[in-house]
Amino acid sequence: MAESDKSTLAPADYPPRTYNHSPSSIAALIRVITQASPSISYSINPTDLVPTASTPHSYAPPEQVAKAVFYPSTTEDVSVILKECHTRRVAVTAYSGGTSLPGALANARGGVCVHFGKMDRVLGVGEGGLDVRVQPGVGWVEVNAYLAPKGLFFPVDPAPGAKIGGMIAMSCSGTNAYRYGTMKEWVISITAVLADGTVITTRKRPRKSSAGYDLTHLIIGSEGTLALVTEAVLKITPLPQNLHVGLATFPTLQAGVDTALAILKSGHLLEAIELADKECMQAINHSSLAKQHMAETPTLFVKFAGSKETVDSQIAFVKKTCEENRSTAFEASNSKERVETIWGARKCIGNALVTMKTLPTDHFLSTDAAVPIPAMATLIQETARIIQNQPFSTENWFCANVGHVGDGNVHTAIVCPVEDKEKAEQVLVEVQRLALRLEGTITGEHGVGLKLRGMLVEEVGEEGVGVMRSVKRALDPRGILNPDKVFMLDGEESRGNVKLEKL
């Protein structure tokens, strides 16, 4: 096929891809890589391979598990691995924390995995204490443990097991996004390895720059399809002072939504505003992951910080607003034990929902649509209606909603029997289409992965996806980096017929 001269690429414009994942090819790859860099260890043991692709949150079938996993120690090691994979046409996925959801970890073509477990260090705080240099395998929890004695912290807080590499790849966020923003606001520069082994550094350490294309933010959110991040410089900020957390319970979810909207419109800037429905609270108790038994009713979680006057004023306003919306209980505390207990209950919800599986074969499915703040109440209300009004029985499903209501991001989760998986996925598609009608997005922080490729076209159009495909073609011409993720590359793939060489 002749090289396209179009600004955007459709699947038919992309040259068909060929991968060589035969046993002899993988064996030769292992031999060459380990000879070139003896510091690179590897495994072909299924007990090591399966967890890099399939997790309780995001199942992958056996054919989507890597055939080998490599453990680099340095950027140079990663360069060696990718250079050889590029030469030999071997597909590559990356693994750091394994908390991604929409099929992002699956090795859709069964190539190899680069595991960043040995690249897990904080390399140091920059001069002046305003940034920190880290490797991709270190978690945000560990980064903050390192920074806390210095009176500093890194605000982005997704699932507790998340690592910096995956957080950059997915452009994630968490409960602090309302106050501090998402991952893309906190990355200054990146060192990354391109598909052919080329090493690039996107910036040095400036807080702003107009020098050329913004390669940093091109890589953030690219889900490992453009490059593998091996080092990052992150912004950091002083720890919040006088931190308090609050909890309020309500008789209805709508009362909680009304309270959250009143807080958002008030001008008070809290640290975080989160809302969980009664099913989430039931899951917390069922899991025993929280330090206390929680009331099984819609619950608002809030954080306050600042001067004593500021915090006192915010707590008084929130308490009054909760009472006006028929709150059944309210608590605010700055004791270390209560802060850990209350906010720990909120942070465990994702893992708690997985424990609602009745059988090991049950599926955990979720969406994380986000909408403009004024449309948030409609998204929550209509999501409940969509689930309730299905023409088939959902009595064996467990459905729950939890929202980062401060920024309009609502997570809908369904736990269902394996035989209902397709029905549940279609329900979540309806929720995502609702978000688009409300001028929102199909994913606020989890990414596209395998599951949302079709929905991405509905959000940004064929032309928007075509631009992404052209960027992918430029940086990864052989399509080895996390193939099949975010969008379809070529016409062969759209028919499920990507060419694989087998011996």
**Least-confidence region, from 95-104, 222-231, 245-254:** 95-104
* Domain shared by 346 and 255, yes or no: yes
At which of 311, 335, 351 does a domain end? 351
At which of 220, 238, 256 does a domain end? 238
As a whole number, mean pLDDT of residues 248-253 equals 96
Band of the pLDDT at 55, cuts 50, 70, 90? confident
Task: List the domain range (segments joined by +) for residue 380.
Answer: 357-451
Identify residue 381 by its one-letter amino acid code. Q
* Domain shared by 101 and 137, yes or no: no
Strands 228-235 and 187-193: antiparallel
The whole-number pLDDT of residue 5 equals 79
pLDDT at 102 over 80: no
pLDDT at 142 over 70: yes
The whole-number pLDDT of residue 3 equals 59
As a whole number, mean pLDDT of residues 366-377 equals 90
Q: For 197-229, how does the pLDDT look when each residue is reduced to its tens digit (9 = 90+)? A: 999 999 999 999 999 999 999 999 999 999 999
The whole-number pLDDT of residue 474 equals 94
* Domain shared by 383 and 363, yes or no: yes
* Domain shared by 324 and 248, yes or no: yes
CATH number at residue 479: 3.30.43.10
The Cα–Cα gap between 272 and 254 comes to 19
**Least-confidence region, from 12-26, 139-153, 165-179, 270-284:** 12-26
As a whole number, mean pLDDT of residues 25-41 equals 97
- CA dihedral (389, 392, 396, 401) in degrees, to 10, reads -30
* Domain shared by 485 and 430, yes or no: no
Q: Which residues pair with 393 in a beta bridge?
A: none
The whole-number pLDDT of residue 503 equals 27
Q: Residue 45, class by beta-carbon neighbours within 10 Å (0-12 exposed, 13-18 middle, 19+ buried)?
A: exposed
* Domain shared by 129 and 110, yes or no: no
The whole-number pLDDT of residue 342 equals 97
pTM of the predicted model, to two decimals?
0.91
If you search the block for the tokens 């028929």, which residue do you land on? 326
Buried b (16+ CB within 10 A) or exposed e, 174-185: bbbbbbbebbee
The whole-number pLDDT of residue 286 equals 98
Q: How many structural domains is the chain composed of? A: 4
